[in-house]
C-alpha cells in the first residue's frame, strides 16, 4: 500500500499514439507511435504498393488512391453495394446450378465483389470471366478460402504450431500453403486466427496460438508475413485475413458463438495485441467475429471496428463479416430486420458482407433515407478496391491453369514433417522411457489412432486432406525401426464404450519389448461448433491405457488432439506422454522421429493444461486475488477437491537433454518510467542458457515479468519474450531480450486506450516455462 501511494508520477498516453503490444516488427520491442511508423510504399512492377514486411500498417500509395477514386467515381450505387457482397460457391453442384448460377449472374451484372469456397484455376477463371468480361466496369472478383494449416500439404493445426514457439515454423506453413492455394485460383485466405483463448472446451482453440497474447501476436504476424510475403501481388502469395475481431476466444462456458463480456483493459491487454501485430505486419483484411463484445455484437461494434481498428490501428484494408454474421444481428437482438442489420454493420465498419445479403437488399433504400452515409459506403468500397489493386487483380485477374500444383512434393512433405516434430511436446518422461532405442526388437502400436490416416489432418484441413492420407504413426514407426517386429492392435475406438478389443491389445503389448499407445480426439472434436464439456480422452481410451499400464511394460502414450485435454488420468498411468496434436500429413513420421530420438522434442505448451474441467478457466497470466493459494489456510483461493495449479503449466515441455539457466542480468537495475513511456527507453535482459545433458536439443527460453504493485491488479506473470535455440551438449549461449513500454505498461478501462507505465518494482523471470524460478528485480522510478 505504501508503495502504491508513493507513486507520484504515472505516465499516460492514449493508444492512438502508442503501440498496444510489442508487435512482430523487426525490432519488436520498440515503442514507436503507430502513426509515426508507416510502411514505406514503393511502386511495384504491377503498379501496386509494395511494402516492407512488418514495417507498420499498410499505407495507401498515391497512385493506388487515385485509381480507387477514379473507379469509385464511375460506379453506380448498385455497383458499389455489389462490391460489398460476398457469396459462397457450392463445389458440389458446380456452375450452372442454384447458388452458383446466382453468383455468375451477379458477377456479370457487377453486383458481386467476392466469392468464397471456390477452388480450381479453371473454375475460378470461368467465374472471373463473368465479372471481368461481362460486367460494365470489369472489376475482378476476389476469391477467398479458409487456408488454415495447409492446402494440399497439411501442416499441424495452428495450436500445435503455437507449441513450436518459433515464428519461422509458422511462416513456413503459410508460405507452402499460399503457393499451393494460389495455384488453385485462391487470392485470399481467412487466416490467421488470432483469437487468444483461456477456453479449451471451445473447439476453435485449435485454430489459434493458445492462451497468451504475446506469443499469439508474434506468431500471427509471422503467419501474415508467410502468406503475404513482402507483396501479396507476387506469384504464390495470398492476401491474409486476421480473424475473428474480436474477443471470440472468451465465450462464456466455452460454447461457440456465445456471449463475451470482457473489460476494456482485458480486451486491450489480452485480445487485441495479436490483431495490432497483424495490422503492423500489413495484413490485407480483418474478419469480424460472431460474438457480442460487452453487449454489442462485433459486427455492429463501432468501438472495436471504427475507433480501435480504423482510427487507433490505422488499418486501411477491409473488414469482412463472418458467415451470415451481418444477418445474425437479428437473433442477437440488436437489429429488427435485415435493413436494420445492414445499417448497423456497415455503419460500424463491416465493409464486405459474407453470404447474407442485407447490404445488397437494403442498401439503396438506406442510402436514400439517409440511414447510411454515402461517405461510409464509398469508404467501404474504396477499402475493397484498394486490396484488389494491391493484389494486382486488375492486371492479373486469371490464374494460370497449367500451373496448378497437383500434390505435395518431397520438399513440402519434409517441411510438414519437420514442423510436426518441432511442435510435439514431451509432457512426461519418467525414467527416460523415451526415446526408444533404435535397437528395439519388438514394439506394439496400440490405440484407435495408431493406424489412422485421416483424423491426423485435424480440423479445417484443406482439400489435400481428402486426397492424400496422412502417414499413420504405425507406418512411421515401421519405417523408423525396419528390423523390429511391430504389431498393431486398435484396442477400442476413439468414442464409444466397446472394450472388446482390450484383450488383443494387452496380448500384443505382453508379447513386445515396449508399446506406443496412440489416443486422442477425432478431427471433428475441435474446430468450429465443436465444443466439448468433458475434455478428457473420449470413450474408453483412458481405460485402455490403464490396462496397458498393468502389463508392466515400458510404454509411451502419444496424444493426438486439437485442444489441451484433461490428462490427469493418463499422467497417473503412463510413464511417458508425447503430445503431438493433430500433426498433419506427415504426422506419423514426425511422431516416430521423436519417439526414436531422431528429433529431440522442443515444443512447449501454448496453453495451460488443466487438472479437471471444473478448474476452468485456468491460465498462467491470472491475477493474484487478495487471498492467493495457501495450503495451510482454508480461506484462500483454491478447490477442496483438486491439488492447486495446473496439471502442466504454460510453456512446459521436456527434452531428452536438460538445460541450466544462470547469469540473469539487466542492463540497468533502475530506469525512469517516463523515459520508458515517452523516450522509448528499453532495458536489456540477458540470461545464460546451457545444455547440461548429453544430447543436442532445443530449448525455448522464456522471459516473464510481474508488475508487483500497480493501480490495476496485474497478472502474476506475463510472457514478454521467447527464443527457441538449439544447443549441443555442454554448449552455452547468452540470450538477450528487451523490455520497453509495451512490456512494462498496461491498459486501463479507459475506452480511449490509455496505456500506463507506472513506477514500481517488476520481477523479471527467465526459464523454460511459466513457472521459471530464476529472477531479478527491475525498478521503474
Ligand atoms: C468461420 C470463419 C470462416 C468462415 C468462412 C465461418 O463459419 O467462423 O472462421 O472463415 O466461416 O468459411
Determine which of 42-56, 87-101, 214-228 has the lowest per-residue pLDDT on average: 42-56
For the chain, the distance separating the N- and C-terminal CA atoms, rounded to the nearest angstrom, is 17
Distance 299 CA to ligand 1 centre (A): 14
Distance 191 CA to ligand 1 centre (A): 10
Residue (of 299, 356, 296) closest to 323 by Cα position: 356
Report yes or no: 338 and 361 within 8 Å, Cβ to Cβ: yes
Check pocket membership of 513 for ligand 1, CB cut-off 6 A: no
Nearest CA to ligand 1 atom 2: 322
Check pocket membership of 257 for ligand 1, CB cut-off 6 A: no
Determine which of 21-35, 106-120, 685-699 has the lowest per-residue pLDDT on average: 21-35
Q: What is the mean pLDDT of residues 547-562?
A: 98
- What pLDDT is stored for residue 60 in this prediction? 67
Tell me what the pLDDT averaged over the chain comes to: 92
Q: Per-residue pLDDT for 26 more than 50?
A: no
- Ligand 1 pocket, mutate which of 114, 142, 158, 190 (most atoms under 8 A from CB): 190
pLDDT tens readout for residues 423-445: 999 999 999 999 999 889 999 99
- What pLDDT is stored for residue 59 in this prediction? 66
The b/e string for 295-313 (b: 16+ C-beta within 10 A; e otherwise) is ebbbbbbebbbbbbbbebb
Known catalytic residues?
A: 322
Distance 323 CA to ligand 1 centre (A): 6
The rounded distance, in Å, linking the Cα atoms of 177 and 179 is 5
The DSSP call for residue 26 is S
Q: Per-residue pLDDT for 195 more than 90?
A: yes
The rounded distance, in Å, linking the Cα atoms of 383 and 352 is 10
Q: Per-residue pLDDT for 23 more than 60?
A: no
pLDDT tens readout for residues 610-625: 999 999 999 999 999 9
Could you check whether the bond before residue 774 is cis, i.e. omega within 30 degrees of 0?
Answer: no
Q: Per-residue pLDDT for 40 more than 70?
A: no
Q: Per-residue pLDDT for 659 more than 90?
A: yes
Check pocket membership of 256 for ligand 1, CB cut-off 6 A: no
The b/e string for 734-755 (b: 16+ C-beta within 10 A; e otherwise) is ebebbbbbbbbbbbbeeeebbb
Nearest CA to ligand 1 atom 4: 323
Check pocket membership of 204 for ligand 1, CB cut-off 6 A: no
Distance 146 CA to ligand 1 centre (A): 7
Q: What angle do CA 525, 526, 530 make, to 5 degrees?
A: 75
- Ligand 1 pocket, mutate which of 86, 242, 290, 528 (most atoms under 8 A from CB): 528
Check pocket membership of 322 for ligand 1, CB cut-off 6 A: yes
Confidence band for 396, pLDDT divided at 50, 70 and 90:
very high
Distance 528 CA to ligand 1 centre (A): 8
pLDDT over 90 percentage in the chain: 91
Check pocket membership of 243 for ligand 1, CB cut-off 6 A: yes
The model's pTM is: 0.93
Check pocket membership of 328 for ligand 1, CB cut-off 6 A: no
Residue (of 545, 589, 592) closest to 565 by Cα position: 545
pLDDT tens readout for residues 702-745: 999 999 999 999 999 999 999 999 999 999 999 999 999 999 99
The rounded distance, in Å, linking the Cα atoms of 339 and 620 is 44
Q: What stretches of 38-84 adopt beta strand conformation (E)?
A: 42-43, 49-50
Check pocket membership of 340 for ligand 1, CB cut-off 6 A: no
Amino acid at each position: 500500500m505504501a508503495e502504491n501511494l508513493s507513486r507520484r508520477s504515472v505516465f499516460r498516453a492514449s493508444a492512438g499514439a502508442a503501440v498496444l503490444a510489442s508487435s512482430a516488427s523487426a525490432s519488436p520491442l520498440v515503442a514507436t507511435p503507430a502513426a509515426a511508423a508507416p510502411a514505406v510504399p514503393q511502386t511495384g512492377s504491377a503498379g501496386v504498393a509494395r511494402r516492407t514486411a512488418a514495417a507498420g500498417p499498410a499505407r495507401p500509395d498515391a497512385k493506388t488512391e487515385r485509381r480507387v477514386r477514379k473507379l469509385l467515381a464511375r460506379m453506380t450505387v448498385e455497383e458499389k453495394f455489389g462490391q460489398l457482397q460476398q457469396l459462397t460457391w457450392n463445389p458440389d453442384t458446380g456452375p450452372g446450378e442454384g447458388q452458383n448460377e446466382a453468383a455468375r449472374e451477379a458477377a456479370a451484372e457487377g453486383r458481386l465483389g467476392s466469392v468464397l469456397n471456390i477452388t480450381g484455376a479453371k473454375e475460378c477463371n470461368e467465374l472471373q470471366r463473368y465479372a471481368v468480361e461481362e460486367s460494365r466496369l470489369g472489376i475482378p472478383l476476389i476469391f477467398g478460402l479458409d487456408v488454415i494449416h495447409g492446402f494440399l500439404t497439411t501442416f499441424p493445426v495452428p495450436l500445435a504450431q503455437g507449441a513450436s514457439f518459433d515464428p519461422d515454423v509458422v511462416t513456413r506453413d503459410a508460405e507452402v500453403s499460399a503457393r499451393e492455394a494460389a495455384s488453385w485460383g485462391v487470392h485470399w485466405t481467412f487466416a490467421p486466427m488470432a483469437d487468444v483463448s483461456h477456453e479449451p472446451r471451445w473447439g476453435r482453440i485449435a485454430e489459434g496460438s493458445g492462451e497468451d497474447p504475446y506469443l499469439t501476436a508474434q506468431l500471427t504476424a509471422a503467419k501474415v508475413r508467410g502468406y503475404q510475403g513482402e507483396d501479396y501481388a507476387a506469384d504464390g502469395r495470398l492476401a491474409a485475413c486476421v480473424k475473428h475481431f474480436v474477443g471470440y476466444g472468451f465465450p462464456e462456458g466455452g460454447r461457440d458463438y456465445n456471449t463475451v463480456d470482457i473489460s476494456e483493459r482485458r480486451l486491450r491487454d489480452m485480445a487485441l495485441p495479436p490483431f495490432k501485430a497483424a495490422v503492423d505486419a500489413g495484413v490485407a483484411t480483418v474478419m469480424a467475429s460472431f460474438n457480442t463484445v460487452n453487449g454489442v455484437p462485433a459486427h455492429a461494434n463501432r468501438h472495436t471496428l471504427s475507433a480501435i481498428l480504423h482510427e487507433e490501428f490505422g488499418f486501411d484494408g477491409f473488414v469482412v463479416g463472418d458467415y451470415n454474421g451481418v444477418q445474425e444481428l437479428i437473433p442477437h437482438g440488436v437489429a429488427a430486420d435485415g435493413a436494420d442489420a445492414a445499417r448497423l454493420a456497415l455503419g460500424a465498419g463491416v465493409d464486405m458482407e459474407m453470404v447474407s445479403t442485407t447490404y445488397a437488399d437494403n442498401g439503396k433504400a438506406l442510402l436514400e433515407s439517409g440511414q447510411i452515409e454515402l461517405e461510409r459506403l464509398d469508404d467501404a468500397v474504396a477499402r475493397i478496391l484498394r486490396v484488389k489493386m494491391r493484389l494486382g487483380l486488375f492486371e492479373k485477374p486469371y490464374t494460370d491453369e497449367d500451373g496448378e500444383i497437383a500434390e505435395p512434393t518431397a520438399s513440402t512433405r519434409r517441411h510438414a514433417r519437420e514442423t510436426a516434430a518441432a511442435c510435439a511436446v514431451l509432457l512426461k518422461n519418467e525414467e527416460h522411457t523415451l526415446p526408444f532405442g533404435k535397437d528395439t526388437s519388438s514394439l506394439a502400436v496400440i490405440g484407435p489412432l495408431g493406424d489412422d490416416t485421416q483424423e491426423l489432418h485435424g480440423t479445417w484441413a484443406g482439400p489435400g486432406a481428402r486426397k492424400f492420407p496422412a502417414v499413420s504413426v504405425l507406418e512411421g514407426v515401421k519405417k523408423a525401426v525396419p528390423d523390429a517386429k511391430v504389431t498393431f492392435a486398435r484396442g477400442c475406438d476413439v468414442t464409444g464404450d466397446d472394450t472388446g478389443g482390450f484383450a488383443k491389445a494387452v496380448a500384443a503389448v505382453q508379447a513386445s519389448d515396449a508399446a506406443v499407445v496412440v489416443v486422442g480426439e477425432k478431427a471433428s472434436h475441435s474446430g468450429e461448433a465443436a465444443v466439448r464439456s468433458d475434455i478428457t480422452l473420449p470413450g474408453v481410451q483412458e481405460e485402455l491405457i490403464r490396462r496397458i499400464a498393468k502389463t508392466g511394460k515400458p510404454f509411451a502414450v502419444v496424444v493426438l488432439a486439437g485442444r489441451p485435454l484433461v490428462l490427469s488420468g493418463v499422467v497417473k498411468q503412463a510413464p511417458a506422454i508425447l503430445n503431438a496434436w493433430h500433426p498433419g500429413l506427415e504426422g506419423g513420421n514426425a511422431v516416430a522421429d521423436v519417439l526414436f530420438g531422431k528429433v529431440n522434442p522442443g515444443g512447449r505448451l501454448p496453453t495451460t493444461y488443466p487438472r479437471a474441467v471444473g478448474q476452468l478457466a485456468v491460465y498462467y497470466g491470472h491475477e493474484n486475488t487478495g487471498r492467493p493459494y495457501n495450503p495451510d489456510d482454508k480461506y484462500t483461493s483454491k478447490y477442496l477437491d483438486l491439488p492447486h495449479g495446473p496439471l502442466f503449466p504454460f510453456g512446459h515441455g521436456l527434452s531428452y537433454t536438460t538445460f541450466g539457466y544462470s547469469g540473469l542480468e539487466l542492463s540497468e537495475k533502475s530506469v525512469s518510467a517516463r523515459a520508458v513511456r515517452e523516450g522509448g527507453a528499453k532495458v536489456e535482459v540477458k540470461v545464460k542458457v546451457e545444455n547440461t545433458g548429453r544430447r543436442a536439443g532445443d530449448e525455448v527460453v522464456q522471459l516473464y515479468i510481474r508488475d508487483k504493485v500497480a493501480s490495476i491488479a496485474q497478472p502474476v506473470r506475463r510472457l514478454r519474450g521467447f527464443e527457441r535455440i538449439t544447443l549441443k551438449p555442454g554448449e552455452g549461449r547468452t540470450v538477450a531480450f528487451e523490455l520497453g513500454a509495451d512490456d512494462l505498461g498496461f491498459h486501463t478501462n479507459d475506452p480511449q486506450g490509455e496505456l500506463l507505465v507506472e513506477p514500481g518494482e517488476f520481477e523479471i523471470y527467465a526459464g523454460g516455462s511459466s513457472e521459471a524460478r530464476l529472477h531479478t528485480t527491475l525498478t521503474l522510478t
